[in-house]
Structure 1
């Protein structure tokens, strides 16, 4: 028997579950587009969008040149106030770890220059503008300071879901956000493929290890309604 490639496995599995209603696109996906993350850099003079998910570019000046060391993610804007903090070269933004944002455990925060903070916003983009070929190389060619769009992908074809951020497409064309996958694909009693999910707040309480019965609410969402960041 010839060795199967991952594409072969996906194709055969897709044929297998086709009878259960699996489709290439969610049934309630509006024709106007697909969900994506808009990631934009804050500028001096911008308000601080309190509660927004954020990324922080860690940089330093060496011999008069700016050096970037990488990104800190899973952060939230902690306050709507832009502050003048000692040691900053420009107005600062308060950042808190997302875990502390949900658990309200003291919310140890840090203030950083506003132009080193990028915020994430869920938007919808035309599906014909999404190209998978070579998309991971686009940042090499684009202006690194320009806003960028990071399209979400369907659950189908994602082999590793546990812990992934999920976005649920609702029937009214809106989206339910701040969800986490706590299982891979499962088959419900009525033959529907689904993914077990919890809210972000529940996810972090589970990690804390002190959750109660009321924190154990797990919803099984049809896979055709889910997008993955």
Structure 2
């Protein structure tokens, strides 16, 4: 006889708000619940800034992740190479991607907003790691250590983070602006990837 599968317990995302905010996988649903939190004034004015960031990252429709797109475009631009003739164009291009990542023309007004932005970057880092490691379970990647059997995969991810947040921007004289974002990406990698700190040390000191 087949046993009935138990339905997963429904999570009240508004309980202990905003503790469960990033457990909401769908951006559109996340926006709807955030709107409810704003109406209830659960964490104002931080929730207003969260909404601003959410719409900046996912747009009004919540379909595409602008952070992920910017990351992939930076990686692709860097792989194409830099020459004397295209450097100025690539600088302009990179600055646009930096705007998409909230690194330019999107300065938080206070320390509280800065903390909210850092948390948004951290969520992106976890989503990126889930994608890179091929994790099938979103929440297990977001809230636990990611075991990677193949050390080469772990190093490749570390190399990508180093390239996107330091090596390529440095060639275009924009590395300093990437520093706070880089710190979040590196810390998340080291905390989430099993033996991440060791892999990171190997990559940056190779």
- TM-score bin (small chain): under 0.3
TM-score (norm 2): 0.22
Q: Which has the higher contact order (CA 8 A, sep 6+)?
A: 1
Q: Which has the larger radius of gyration?
A: 1
Q: Which has the higher helix share?
A: 2
